[in-house]
Structures are given as structure tokens and as C-alpha cells.
Amino acid sequence: GENVEQHPSTLSVQEGDSAVIKCTYSDSASNYFPWYKQELGKRPQLIIDIRSNVGEKKDQRIAVTLNKTAKHFSLHITETQPEDSAVYFCAAYPGGYQKVTFGTGTKLQVIP
Amino acid sequence: DAGVIQSPRHEVTEMGQEVTLRCKPISGHNSLFWYRQTMMRGLELLIYFNNNVPIDDSGMPEDRFSAKMPNASFSTLKIQPSEPRDSAVYFCASRPDRGVVDTIYFGEGSWLTVV
């Protein structure tokens, strides 16, 4: 089955700096890679996703890159703000009626 | 749509008692997932259903756990008997599984404490 590894497990950055979270996956059939943000006491919510036919996708301060050959994808947050502090999960999914495999999460702390 | 609805939101129960968690997926979604989240183990997939049929229950920790989906709009996760190590947040999630929409939508979670 799919195995998703996520690094780092914790990340502290100064407000205004960039943050990068990296994930690798094992199943070459995976073709959909969502990222979820989970604030303390809340549910995980989708913030951005990318499909295997795209190398990069941006949404304001958030971007995701995908390297299918190397089987890794990354989340980039620029100009970080205190409200970006949360746990971020990556995931991989081969489509169809398959399950989604999540990474172990990265706790991001943005220091004002 | 109101989103994925879970109940109860919080439950405190004594060890040995039966616990039933309930979930109503988003209308029209074909897949339903039960996840457990703890600090130590992160987000674990317990079981998922497609069109009300269990597809993969390999994540169900032991026979004390059972899940059902009697119809497209309702699912339960039951723990009997409950143990303190079952304390966690249990999330239900649903997914459309139609065409290119692959996003999983999570409910607010059921916070379970077994004392």
C-alpha cells in the first residue's frame, strides 16, 4: 500500500519568513495530493491540492510543487503570519475508490 | 450543505461502557471514512465505505471496534467495551468519488475520553 512520509515534524519560523514542508510517497499510481491545515481543536481542512499532470500550483501565499519522478511534493508558505500556525498534513491518493494516505503532520509555529 | 455531521461532539465514559459515534456524510458523497487522531499516532484510517459497503477495515484496531453504514446517509462506529487507550478524537469524513472531485471533507470530530 501507499506510504507517505512528512518532514519536518515541527517547524518554527519568524513572522514574514517562508516555511517549507516536504512529503514523499511510495505508490507511483498516486495522482492526487491534497494538503490539509488543522488548527488547534478543529477539523482538518483542505487548503490546496495538486494533480499529477501539474508540476506547481499557487494560491496567494501558498504553493505546492510536485516531482513525480522523485515521488515527492512540497508545501510552500510565503510571508508567514501568526494565523498560519497549525498542523499541516500532506496526503496521497491514487484515485477511484482507493483510500487516502496521510502523512504524520507538521506542527508549524509562526513567531510574531 | 451542512457538511459532515458527527455526534456526539464530546463524550466522557467509564471504562467498559459501550460507545457509539454517529456520522451523517455530505449528501451525494459515495465514500465515508472513519479516522482516529491521537498525539502519538496522528491520523489513522480505521475503516472506509464506498456505496455503503466496507472496502478496507484493516485499520480497525481490534474486535472491540465495529462500524456500520446501513444507508447512504448514516454510519456508526461502536466501541464495546471501551478502554482508556481508546481516548482520542474520532473524525468522520466523506468524499464524492465522482469524476475529478477527490477532496475529503472532515466532520468536526467526536472527542472521546474513557476514564
Query: What is chain A's alpha carbon radius of gyration, rounded to the nearest angstrom?
Result: 13
Model confidence over A67-106: pLDDT tens digits? 999 999 999 999 999 999 999 999 998 877 778 889 999 9
Q: How many CB atoms lie within 10 A of CB B18?
A: 11
Cβ–Cβ of B104/A34 closer than 8 Å? yes
Task: Return the closest-CA partner of residue A4 out of A107, A93, A88, A92.
Answer: A92
Task: Return the closest-CA partner of residue B111 out of B3, B12, B4.
Answer: B12
Q: What is the mean pLDDT of chain A?
A: 94
Task: Return the closest-CA partner of residue A87 out of B3, B20, B6, B37.
Answer: B37
Per-position DSSP letters for B10-79, written without gaps between them: EEEE-TT--EEEEEEPPTT--EEEEEEEETTTEEEEEEEEETTEEEE-TT--STTEEEEEEETTEEEEEE
* A81 grid coordinates: 503570519
Cα separations (Å) of A35 from A61, B56, B79, B90? 14, 23, 30, 20
Rounded Cα distance between B60 and B48, Å, is: 10
For B31, the closest of A36, A45, A97 (CB atoms) is A97
Q: What does each of the 115 residues of chain B score in pLDDT, given as a tens digit?
A: 679 999 999 999 999 999 999 999 999 998 999 999 998 888 999 999 999 999 999 999 889 999 999 999 999 999 999 999 999 999 999 998 766 567 899 999 999 999 9
Touching check for B90 and chain A: CB below 8 Å?
no
**How far B69 CA sits from the closest chain A CA (Å)?**
16
Helix, strand, or coil (residue A25): strand
Cβ–Cβ of B42/A105 closer than 8 Å? yes
